[in-house]
Amino acid sequence: MSFDITFKVRDYECDLQGVVNNGVYLNYLEHTRHEYLRSLDIDFKALHQEGIDPMVSRVEMDYKRPLTSGDEFISSLSVRKEGRLRIIFDQKIYRGEELVLAAKVIAVVVKNGRPVPPEQGVPGWNLEH
């Protein structure tokens, strides 16, 4: 399953070199994951209120090309389960056909402070496609 969302670079996201600051890409990736959950009718805030928190444990990012102010781009996500507890988000950012960034985001679901299999912590989240 693939999920895509479109963004446009805002001026304040760029650094002195005129390119998107490296830390801003983390925000793009996170916003994409949250919108993906929303598309599945999974309410991140409601989960937290129930003591359930999907949490990032590791991020690997490979920068390929810079984005600059005004660029429109697509943030793409696919998700899979690895082992019993890990959720792998394979995320890419494209400007047109050009790959800008490739990332692997590893997450776990924590319920009341303890890691649990994603399907036990997040009702309706089926990662077994």
Catalytic residue ranges: 15
Q: In a 10 Å sphere around its CB, with 0-12 CB exposed, 13-18 middle and 19+ buried, how is residue 123 labelled?
A: exposed
Distance, C-alpha 28 to centroid of its chain:
7
* Amino acid making up residue 97: E
Name the β-bridge partners of 81.
Answer: 87
